């Protein structure tokens, strides 16, 4: 029998899931309904289902009809791809109405909402899965394999630097993410991927977190300091935005126009705000230190205005060192092909044994978005999961432990003090 899926939140990340259901996994899965605050956006989504995927249009429900959708359509699973601060609302309601849940990362944005989700899972016995596609990318899985196999012995420290460039990185400052209440800032919304990778690689959990950071490049005040005098509130149709490499013109892209520009009259959401405007409350420059349960130490940095996109990680152990560098293609969410999101331009892994010559590690060539992780994740979700010695499928515990590093980092940013992760929630 096919599994029935309903999806809430038809913005930029939704097509990744519903496109897979209706195209690649029709034998095991069916999409039975979609839900959003915006009817125009749902109509556009149904247009894609019919015209792009040759599927049928599905029933649409406004956000205040979410519970009615569950009762009427009887999905087995609810897929949550709404604004981050609403994840907990839909996760909890779906579970209380008898559904299991698949949530886009981050699971939620603060410790109180996280505790509500954990309590609901205990109370209902339902399952929650968080979609960490980076775990499935062959190069990231290879790091897990090298460490599991004892290649560098016991891991003592990790240095992890992530760079977001002036296209993708800037995009977080154009849209709803720019308000920290919506996504917890980049330490939660974006870094949850990275903190999860460290938990995954090392097979441990964070214990203590200390963070520093600030808004140092984006925002009007920073632009004024650099001598900028030409400002605008939004890019589309604005003369001041012409020629600005940081501007996003919604009317130049069919997908962005259909999902956002044509839908503005319903909810007022503007997808193309100036990254050098007022009202930005998230950081663009962050540094974090983490001590883990196994006593390993992480030094982490995230910068959102770099010339290239990707990351480098160095892992130091009792028997040597692993170095990895990954360069990703640049992209704007919903502005192009899904397989271009996180796709790779370059990847290298080198092992430096303590008393032997360094060597380059062969990496399987992945196909698809996020370094080849996306197709493997989707098969794991919507098809029969296979035995996986690397245990890449992420539970609600994995989802919680990844966001709690970022949540603790946000608390540390506010207080200037280290934060004990165990004191934030009770499992």
**Alpha helix stretches (DSSP H) within 166-263:** 168-171, 180-183, 186-189, 191-202, 220-225, 254-259
Residue 425's pLDDT is: 98
Tell me the pLDDT tens digit for each residue of 206-222: 999 999 999 999 999 99
17, pLDDT greater than 90: yes
Tell me the pLDDT tens digit for each residue of 329-341: 876 776 656 555 6
pTM given for the model: 0.94
242, pLDDT greater than 80: yes
Beta-strand ranges (E) seen in 114-241 are: 128-130, 155-165, 206-214
Q: Residues near 94 by Cβ (< 8 Å), separated by ≥ 6?
A: 70, 78, 80, 100, 101, 126
393, pLDDT greater than 80: yes
Tell me the pLDDT tens digit for each residue of 296-351: 999 999 999 999 999 999 999 999 999 999 999 876 776 656 555 657 789 999 99
């Amino acid at each position: 029998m096919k599994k029935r899926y309903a999806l809430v939140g038809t913005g930029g990340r939704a097509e990744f899931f519903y496109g897979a259901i209706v195209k690649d996994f029709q034998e095991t899965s069916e999409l039975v309904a979609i839900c959003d605050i915006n009817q125009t956006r749902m109509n556009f989504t149904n247009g894609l289902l019919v015209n792009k995927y040759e599927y049928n249009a599905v029933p649409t429900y406004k956000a205040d009809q979410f519970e009615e959708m569950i009762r009427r359509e009887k999905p087995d699973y609810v897929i949550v791809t709404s604004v981050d601060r609403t994840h907990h609302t839909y996760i909890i309601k779906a579970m209380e109405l008898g559904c299991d849940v698949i949530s886009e990362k981050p699971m939620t944005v603060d410790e109180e909402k996280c505790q509500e989700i954990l309590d609901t899972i205990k109370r209902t016995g339902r399952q929650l899965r968080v979609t960490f596609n980076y775990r499935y990318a062959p190069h990231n899985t290879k790091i897990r394999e090298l460490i599991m196999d004892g290649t560098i012995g016991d891991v003592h420290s990790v240095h992890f630097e992530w760079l977001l460039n002036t296209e993708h990185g800037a995009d977080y400052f154009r849209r709803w993410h720019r308000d920290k209440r919506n996504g917890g800032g980049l330490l939660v919304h974006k870094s949850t991927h990275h903190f999860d990778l460290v938990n995954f690689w090392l097979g441990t959990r964070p214990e203590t977190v200390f963070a520093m950071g600030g808004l140092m490049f984006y925002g009007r005040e920073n632009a004024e300091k650099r001598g900028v005098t030409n400002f605008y509130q939004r890019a589309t149709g604005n003369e001041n935005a012409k020629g600005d490499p940081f501007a996003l013109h919604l009317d130049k892209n069919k997908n962005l126009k259909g999902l956002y520009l044509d839908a503005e009259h319903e909810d007022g959401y503007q997808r193309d705000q100036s990254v050098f405007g007022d009202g930005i409350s998230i950081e663009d420059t962050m540094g974090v230190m983490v001590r883990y349960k196994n006593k390993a130490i992480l030094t982490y940095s995230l910068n959102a205005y770099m010339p290239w996109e990707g990351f480098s990680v160095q892992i130091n152990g009792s028997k040597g060192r692993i170095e990895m560098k990954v360069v990703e293609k640049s992209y704007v969410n919903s502005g192009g092909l899904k397989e271009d999101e996180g796709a790779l331009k370059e990847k290298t892994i080198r092992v430096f044994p303590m008393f032997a010559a360094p060597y380059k590690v062969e990496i399987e060539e992945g196909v698809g978005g996020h370094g080849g992780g996306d197709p493997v994740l989707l098969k794991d979700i919507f098809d029969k999961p296979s035995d996986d010695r690397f245990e890449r499928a992420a539970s609600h515990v994995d989802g919680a432990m990844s966001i709690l590093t970022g949540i603790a980092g946000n608390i540390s940013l506010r207080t200037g003090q280290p934060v004990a992760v165990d004191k934030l929630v009770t499992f």
